Amino acid sequence: GGGAAAAAPADVKGKKRDTDKKADKALGDKSKDTSGKADKVKAAPAGTAAPPLKVVPTGSTVLGVVDPASGMADTAIVYIHGGEIYDFMLNLRDISKNMDKYYIGQVLENSATRQFYCFTHWGRTGAVGQNKTDGPFATADPAIAEFKAKFYEKTHNNWDEKDKFEHKKDKYQLLKTDYKHLATKKKAKWQYYVDAPVDGKSIGWYDYDPAASDIVESVHDTFLSNPTLGVRCVESGKWVYRVDLGKMTQTNTQHVNHTTRQIRRVPL
């Protein structure tokens, strides 16, 4: 999937179209809907929604950590050989179409059995998405070959020449990952600003739901290492939000009101 997001639904059976601002929730708002319509914003579970790969420091080396969607976070490690970390994160984005997709690839090694896998995980930014595991393989070579083939299929670039990566039209872009930053950064939460009373809220700053905060933090991390990705389309439940990390705003692109709210990052 991942085509253009659907427009706001038309009226059904003569029902009045809802233009009440109370139905246009912020990305991180899971408060009770008082507009007379069901409008829950259901964020993807924390840690499963298009994260830049989590990392941990190991001595003086910082290694990629297994994508939790693989189900092998406690039994496998990201394969590293000759200083090469076999993981990548890609992005395909067309803001004019509300399209923003991720594609993750990893070679995983089972720590106990020494078997190898090629794991891939893809979907719309903010959504849990889908994944596939190829293997097990008795050696790393078949998993690496599959990994490299997936990389070429999505980018039309060779993995072995990724240092000379060229973004091709209609293909995924390779994202840079600052492993040391991700391993050492301080935690933070995200908030949105209500500039007029709505859904029982007075004017002021409100915390995102924790899962939605994790999603916006992950795209913010990506932005720090990839400055061209300042505007993202983030899926949350039935809505798609345009998050502008340069202007620090979010806009519900599908709701009829297209409400824009200020957002901010608050270190903990």
Q: Is the pTM of this model over 0.85?
A: no
Contact 140, 118 (CB under 8 A): no
Cis peptide before 9 (omega within 30 of 0): no
Contacts 24+ apart (CB under 8 A), 167-172: 171/92, 172/90, 172/91, 172/92, 172/101, 172/103
pLDDT tens for each residue of the chain, 268 residues long:
333 333 333 333 333 334 344 445 667 665 544 433 333 333 334 444 444 444 444 443 445 778 889 999 889 999 999 888 999 999 999 998 889 999 999 999 998 999 999 999 999 999 989 999 999 999 999 999 999 999 999 999 999 999 999 999 999 999 988 877 777 888 999 999 999 888 888 999 999 989 889 899 999 999 999 999 999 999 887 888 999 999 999 998 887 888 899 999 999 9
14: left (phi over 0), alpha (psi -120 to 50) or beta: left
CB atoms within 10 A of CB 263: 24
Contact 27, 212 (CB under 8 A): yes
Q: How many CB atoms lie within 10 A of CB 184?
A: 11
Report the DSSP beta bridge partners of residue 109: 77, 116
